Structure 1
Amino acid sequence: MLEKGKVSVVVPIYKVEKYIHRCIDSVITQTYSNLEIILVDDGSPDNCGEIVDDYQESDTRIKVIHKKNGGLSDARNHGMMQATGEFTMFVDSDDWLEKNMIELMVDNSIESKADVVQSAFYYAYEDRLLIDDKFYKEADLPVLLTNKVLIYELVINEKVKNFAWGKLYRTELIKDIPFKKGVLFEDVFWAHKVMQRVNTFLLLHQPLYYYYQRSDSIVATYTPRNLDMIRGQLERHRFIEEFYDEFTDASFKEILKMCLIHYNLLLLNRKVDIKGTHRKEIQSYIQANNSQLQRAVQDEKELQWQLSLFSFHPYCNVLYLGLRKGLRKMKLLSKPKGLKRVGV
């Protein structure tokens, strides 16, 4: 039986000794105190195990799980199995929360009868905070989404994010939907299964979650495992075709964008794709689905152009992107609107 009003906060922990205090302290000092804080030590080789044990001794709301390393999905699944609260929230262990985040999200969930609440968030760097205010401003009123609008927004990943964190879920919705183990970008494999069950989804526009941006870039650390992002989108695409076929074109468009991005990343990191196997897989997918992709991008000239160039030869699109980047550097072409720096 889930305890009414209680929030189960699941924090998977692995090799974050440098950040763990900031994360846990931001949870235990929340203005909302009816918490169950589940710290999952995923076989961390540093001192995280001892640190979380110390926290458990000092706060009765904390429950520690020590387990053999199995990855982020496995750690979240172990934490979710132990959740006894009416609500569940996931927090990544290098991120942190505003003091009143949970209180605001619970109050809004109850008031709006929302199954899931999502807050805005900061992209947190060592020296600055950025926010995405392209669609909503902090002072805007919350927005309630129905199921079909929610699924569309999830697919295009603009207003509704695929991230598992930054949201408050009614536990009964997610308890029997485990994260897929052994993949990167596990949230993309998971989120649509949850959102299919959601009747009402609430968007809050106050940034309440700090999403920490580590200094190591995807270009420097790229491996073929990063292609799990595309695999997750393809798995979701099959789901969209079955249950929400009116959003098939939107799904194809997002897959194409990701294919083009990863083709270029594989080119930049040719040492991880020496024989070009992964690039050929991407090229084959685009060739096999060219007519569907052309239909999907017919309302977006930029993507139409990139798809045509790539279809002629992938390097043509690479050259085009390089030229566009150069023109933007010379301020001969306007830059797309990006993130806004807080306080500037």
Structure 2
Amino acid sequence: MKKVSIIVPVYNTSLYLRECLNSIKNQTLKDIEVIVVDDGSTDSSPAICDEYAVSDERFKVFHNQNQGVSASRNFGIDKADSEFVIFVDSDDWLENDMCENLYQSACENSVDMVICAHFNESTIGSSSRHMYNTDMMFNGGYFEEIRVHTLGLIGRWLKKPSSLDRHTPIWARLYRLDIIKNSNIRYIDLNKLPSECLQFNFAYTSVAKSGYFLNRPLYHYRRNTVQSVTKPYRVNLLSKWLWWYEYMKENYVATFDAACLQAFYSRMCCSVIPLGGNALKLHTYREIRNECATFLRNTALKESYRYFKYHQCALHWRIFFTAAKYQWIDVFIILTWGMRKILALRKK
């Protein structure tokens, strides 16, 4: 059994793949296995993957028919044989001592999960992102806070809804493989869900007991360089959020305490942010308005807004969520457009 398995799903990322795999090959922790799952790539990615399998016996390459990133990660989990597992996107890369630092932190602190800070990489530069400003241990009630915030924001955390997904990513994390396998934690297909990472992390933090945050940026996350305004309209985005809503109600909500229940409804209410942005990709104002009316009047969203306590949000967010709650459709559209413009400028 190896100390760490690194699972890398690959689909048509030949431009960045060598940088990713080289950063894994050069890890200072040598007792690792690298499970590379080629998801039916049509570029030169398969050949690149095979090169590493030939030159380094720690690399195990599998060529599968295209099934999506969730299926590839699940396949990797089934093949893994180690104490811990790390998931890496094939267009990202690692600091050479990432595995060693995360593994050492897990062993020294006897925790089930380690999270590290990371770098956001884009065409305009690199910037580090830190969840907290110091190393931090999470157990008991503190770890429960991680679970709640993975699900959604409540209380003072609602002052900044744009930080909603800070606990969502599955990269820059080390997980205990036996917890994943014994609890049958799986990635759900993105054809059903708006985010496979959200559901995986919530399932994991529901059974894990402790975690540790390492305040060192060790993972390089390559942000999508395609501007959001040029991304295509997602036809099934609302149905994915509704599927997640029903899935959570069927499998988890009955066991929720008050904090988790608030976080669940908070996450659902905040879905109007991506749903509104998606609607703006339509061609005419009439289409945009009809789209917004459809999701704002949806029964699941109306129910969620009955429980959503957003009074701690900043004023502009309170106005935004009030427009969504009371279905002030034209106001909601104007606010969505304006806030997305502001967020885009901040990212630059």
TM-score bracket for the superposition, by shorter chain length = 0.7 to 0.9
Distance, in Å, in 2 between the alignment partners of 1:312 and 1:159 is 25
Kept in 1: contact 2:117–2:218 (CA 8 A): yes
Partner SS state of residue 117, structure 1: strand
Deviation at 1:126, TM superposition (A): 2.7
Deviation at 1:160, TM superposition (A): 5.3
Distance, in Å, in 2 between the alignment partners of 1:98 and 1:22 is 11
Aligned to 2:258: 246
CA RMSD of aligned residues (A): 2.9
Kept in 1: contact 2:115–2:174 (CA 8 A): yes
Aligned to 1:87: 84
Kept in 1: contact 2:120–2:223 (CA 8 A): yes
Aligned to 2:318: 304
Kept in 1: contact 2:135–2:212 (CA 8 A): no
Larger deviation, residues 221-230 vs 256-265: 221-230
* TM-score normalised by length of structure 2: 0.83
Query: Aligned ranges for residues 132-143 of structure 1 at < 5 Å?
Result: 132-133=129-130, 136-137=132-133, 140-143=134-137
> Per the alignment, do residues 170 and 265 of structure 1 end up closer, same or farther by CA in structure 2, a change over 3 Å counting?
same
Deviation at 1:236, TM superposition (A): 6.9
* 1:119 has 2:116 as partner: yes
Which residue identity does 1:47 align to in structure 2? S
For residue 265 of structure 1, the aligned residue among 251, 254, 278 is 278
| Unaligned residue ranges in structure 1 (runs of 5+) | 329-334
For residue 215 of structure 2, the aligned residue among 205, 208, 228 is 205
Deviation at 1:110, TM superposition (A): 0.4
Deviation at 1:242, TM superposition (A): 2.5
> Per the alignment, do residues 257 and 36 of structure 1 end up closer, same or farther by CA in structure 2, a change over 3 Å counting?
same
Aligned to 1:283: 296
For residue 234 of structure 1, the aligned residue among 242, 245, 266 is 245
* TM-score normalised by length of structure 1: 0.84
> Per the alignment, do residues 37 and 152 of structure 1 end up closer, same or farther by CA in structure 2, a change over 3 Å counting?
same
Count residues in correspondence: 324
Partner SS state of residue 15, structure 2: coil
Identity of aligned residues (%): 22
Kept in 1: contact 2:292–2:329 (CA 8 A): no
> Per the alignment, do residues 172 and 160 of structure 1 end up closer, same or farther by CA in structure 2, a change over 3 Å counting?
farther
Structure 1 residues 15-73: Cα deviation after superposition (integer angstroms, max 9, x where no partner) = 00101000000001001000100010111011111111111010011101111000000
Larger deviation, residues 250-259 vs 152-161: 152-161
Aligned to 2:179: 173
> Per the alignment, do residues 186 and 325 of structure 1 end up closer, same or farther by CA in structure 2, a change over 3 Å counting?
closer
Structure 1 residues 198-246: Cα deviation after superposition (integer angstroms, max 9, x where no partner) = 1001111111100101211233113224447734762575355323332
For residue 235 of structure 2, the aligned residue among 224, 227, 232 is 224
